[in-house]
Amino acid sequence: MRRHRNVKIVATLGPASSDHQMIRELFDAGADVFRLNMSHGTHAEQKARYDIIRAVEAETGRPIGVLADLQGPKLRVGVFAVGAHDLEEGDRFRFDLDPAEGDGRRVQLPHREIFAALQVGSRLLVNDGKIRLRVERCGPDFADCVVTTGGTISNRKGVNVPDVVLPLAALSDKDRADLEFACELGADWLALSFVQRPEDVIEARELARGRAAILSKIEKPAAVDCFAEILKVSDGIMVARGDLGVELPVHSVPPIQKRLVRACRQAAKPVIVATQMLESMIESPMPTRAEVSDVATAIYEGADAIMLSAESAAGRYPSEAVSTMDSVARSVEGDPVYRDVIDSSRSTVNRETVADAIAVAAREIAETTDVAAICAYTQSSTTVRLAARERPKVPIIAMSSELPVLRRMCLVWGAHCVLTPVLERFKQAVVNAAHAAVEFDFATSAQKVIVMAGVPFNTAGSTNILRVATCDEQLLSRTDPE
């Protein structure tokens, strides 16, 4: 069951990866979490993929995480009488609410909320920013613009409005239906698109009612501006660099990525770096050197997970893309410089509780003694996330009797998830930790492991005890009373 790396791999499922054989291949190649993109496919198709994931989980005996990615509101222009028009720099062009077919001078933009938020000087970006316009005059139902970057505008192309906070909810009617479907299905994580403010996350959390963890996608400048507040109410973060690179200058995205990853690590919340990581592998069996460097950079930064989108969902080489990510991760994490970077980026911010101190102590003991692994028991994932925040040199064995908790922790850096029976005493936890460490080849019977847990046992958020135990002693005492 052991992955010989700490960073996790998220693979999106789609037309190229919908049958049992391919999903099993992706798992064997290294996928730890599977993403169901709710923007594409029917509920029936997504359920079929989910059922296969759970079948693979049963076959392998290893918890597998499922991330349902909600579409979010899509802002698009209407249609044109002739399908498309070329716009040149300096041209005047109007967006309005008129449903009539567009021409070379105007087109419908069926989103009244956009017009309510626009101001003179605001930018409108069409077709992933390939066409750029500046608002010169606007009202409640129109915006007269000048083209600053020309291109071909065509039917239903997407629109981005980077300069204003749009009065749009992050959840459309479709998203609400998809959220309920995903929760009933059993998805472990919900990825929330179009987040602009913490209230967007709070609304999704209220609808989920604890059935899934909430992961906020940072893809809007407004979300970057209030990121600290969004992080507080989120269970995890996705750095969605595609839309960020459209709405912000592309040169600003790398430093934003670094800041967000570091903030998530300080908060002990998992963070995914996503979008275009190995995009050339949609068509090619080999990535570019630049893509490999991009993946490596995210790993050096300490991201919990790296994600494949179209590469695994619709590409020609889905399992090769996962294998490539796995190989890059192993290479980077085997580099002595990686450990230097990770250790130097460790922060003492947000270390105020007994649980924080226990996690720090576990890492320091592992660094200074001959310990093979850190075994962290948890009912809520907190103990494991705190252990992972320290980025220890030894493996983290995440242990719980709650399978849904283990599935969520599949997204957490370094967490090797093991399902245990319901335990009543800390002595039983120590014995089970030693057994798991030996059974799954994290330690030999002669080696020691660190056990972290909370007493009273099975109480969420009570991490308060640490013990160093020799495996063979615990295995011999497996049937002994406490």
Domain ranges for the chain, please list them. 8-72+169-333, 84-160, 354-476
| Residues 115 and 140: beta-carbon distance below 8 Å | yes
Closest CA to 171 of 180, 163, 183: 180
Given this model, what pLDDT does residue 424 score? 85
Given this model, what pLDDT does residue 476 score? 63
Copy the structure tokens of residue 384: 């494991």
pLDDT-based confidence at 462, cuts 50/70/90? confident
Closest CA to 240 of 210, 219, 224, 261: 219
Say if residue 392 is exposed, middle or buried (CB neighbours under 10 Å; 0-12, 13-18, 19+): buried
Is 470 labeled as catalytic in the residue annotation?
no
Position with higher pLDDT, 170 vs 259:
259
| Cα gap 427→482, rounded to integer Å | 6
Given this model, what pLDDT does residue 146 score? 98
pLDDT surpassing 80 at residue 460: no
Is 275 labeled as catalytic in the residue annotation?
yes
Question: How does the average pLDDT of the chain come out, rounded?
Answer: 94
115-125, pLDDT tens digit by residue?
A: 999 999 999 99
- For the chain, how many residues are written? 482
Position with higher pLDDT, 481 vs 133:
133
Count other Cβ atoms within 10 Å, centred on residue 15.
11
Residue among 12, 275, 382, 463 flagged as catalytic: 275
Q: Which of 22-31, 268-277, 458-467 is predicted least confidently?
A: 458-467
Rounded to 5°, angle at Cα 277 from 73 and 34: 65
Copy the structure tokens of residue 158: 């997407």
Helices (H) and strands (E) in the chain, counts: 18, 21
Given this model, what pLDDT does residue 482 score? 42
Say if residue 281 is exposed, middle or buried (CB neighbours under 10 Å; 0-12, 13-18, 19+): buried
| Cα gap 86→20, rounded to integer Å | 45
Closest CA to 382 of 407, 348, 416, 359: 359
| Cα gap 238→271, rounded to integer Å | 6
295-311, pLDDT tens digit by residue?
A: 999 999 999 999 999 99
Compute the average pLDDT of residues 256-271.
97
Is 478 labeled as catalytic in the residue annotation?
no
Residues whose CB falls within 8 Å of the CB of residue 58, separated by 6 or more in sequence, listed in order: none
pLDDT-based confidence at 243, cuts 50/70/90? confident
Residue among 5, 8, 35, 389 flagged as catalytic: 35
CATH class of 354-476: alpha beta
Position with higher pLDDT, 166 vs 184:
184
Backbone angles phi, psi at 55, to 5 degrees: -70, -40
Given this model, what pLDDT does residue 449 score? 97
Closest CA to 30 of 59, 8, 54: 8
Given this model, what pLDDT does residue 1 score? 64
Compute the average pLDDT of residues 54-80.
96
Residue among 54, 76, 176, 393 flagged as catalytic: 76
Is 94 labeled as catalytic in the residue annotation?
no
CATH class of 8-72+169-333: alpha beta
Given this model, what pLDDT does residue 174 score? 95
Share of the chain above pLDDT 90, in %: 89
pLDDT surpassing 90 at residue 480: no
Copy the structure tokens of residue 148: 């600053």
Closest CA to 426 of 463, 475, 383: 463
Copy the structure tokens of residue 102: 């567009």
Given this model, what pLDDT does residue 478 score? 57
Residue among 217, 241, 265, 269 flagged as catalytic: 217
pLDDT-based confidence at 347, cuts 50/70/90? confident
Compute the average pLDDT of residues 395-420.
97
Tell me the range of 124-128, 143-147, 472-476 where mean pLDDT is highest.
143-147
Compute the average pLDDT of residues 269-289.
97
Does the domain at 84-160 match CATH 3.30.830.10? Answer given as: no
Q: Which of 127-141, 238-252, 458-472 is predicted least confidently?
A: 458-472
Within 270-370, strands assigned E span: 271-274, 305-308
CA 316 to chain centre: 23
How far is residue 269 from each of residues 94, 264, 331, measured CA to CA in Å? Answer: 44, 5, 25
